[in-house]
Structure 1
Amino acid sequence: MWTMPPADTVLHVLLPVAAAAQAMTAALAAGRRSMDWLGVCLLGCITALGGGSLRDVLLGHYPLVWVENPSYLAITIAASLVTIAIARVVHRLHLAFLVLDAIGLVVFTIAGCDVALELHESLPIIIVAGMITGCAGGVLRDILCNDVPLLFRSELYASVSAVAGAIYVAALWLGLNHDIATALAFAVGLAFRLLAIRFKWDMPKFVFTDERR
């Protein structure tokens, strides 16, 4: 039986950072689509909070995180507005987008695993809950911006989430302190994602052509 470990300081510090990071990726994406300020804020909230909301609905975990803690709404809106203010002085928006997205991916994956642990779910459900929390917000962002989601490209994205979640759960199973498990999963997951971007690691592609044409 999986049990929920005691709340840790590291995750509580990283979660607002991850929410802000995801909101900023959404604001940058919205800026490339010339959205108005309201659209930027809405996209920021959907990106930062959508994965956790979907996870909670699927697992029957209520109230939703942002309903229980409205401060997350304030954080995502503030981060979106700050991004509007500083976007013109950020010269490498693409690099910033990828780093911020990687931070959000890994931290939300760990948070999603925690929720499933709290509900005493089985190991596969714990990992999937982490992946949904980490990946779904970015998918919603890309769909609303009319982009092909990162999750569905050949890049290592969902696999990074799965590895980070597996390391986190394995560390807890081995009896490591919750803070250490969180820090370890965060460090490995973030490094894995950034190295995959740097060296263009990707998954095998499925290419099918109908030779009868």
Structure 2
Amino acid sequence: MIKAAEELFAEYGHENVSLRQLTSHAGVNVAAVNYHFGSKELLVEAVFQTLVQRVCDQRELALEKLERGDTLTLEEVVRSFVDPYLGNGNEKQGALLARFLMRNRLYPTDGTRRVVSEYLDPMAKKYIAAFAQVCPKLSKEQLVWRYLFMTNTLAASSAGDNLSRRLESLSPDTGKAELQDRREAMIEFLISAFR
């Protein structure tokens, strides 16, 4: 049921998916949502937690791999953070996570606060430590601020397709922005923010 919900939420937004659509897509009856989750809102929180866990696992593996290498670089750390949002095949995951994170900032619940505290805060501390290794001249406070600005920038630019349309309207000669172009522009921007 969580996988079906994630697919529909990524496509239409969780606010626009009815329980009937969700249960039809999952091949279960409406009572199953209440039985397993208690409510649609608790199912939404379960999807948020599942998504956050997956992204944190991806980032954890990426950081471990980088730390086993010869030299950790700023670009590698930034790329490992961006990839779960904009890496190949992660676009829907990134957009859905970005929407959930933005919603949590505006309308936090006890459940979403718990997910942030349990998964995102420890991962943030690991990234801040990795950035401290590759940006030794920055103070802890500067690193935290830049990390927060990075997460907000990435979430805001990953939440939907409007960024590509906005680029086309501001710079019609540029043409359609491909995901790879957006990803590389984001990485370049974030690297410059930590220098």
Which TM-score band applies after superposition, normalised by the shorter structure?
A: 0.3 to 0.5
Which of structures 1 and 2 has the bigger CA Rg? 2
TM-score scaled by length of structure 2: 0.37
TM-score scaled by length of structure 1: 0.34
Judging by fraction of residues, say which structure has more helix: 2
- The structure whose RCO (Cα within 8 Å, separation 6+) is larger is 1
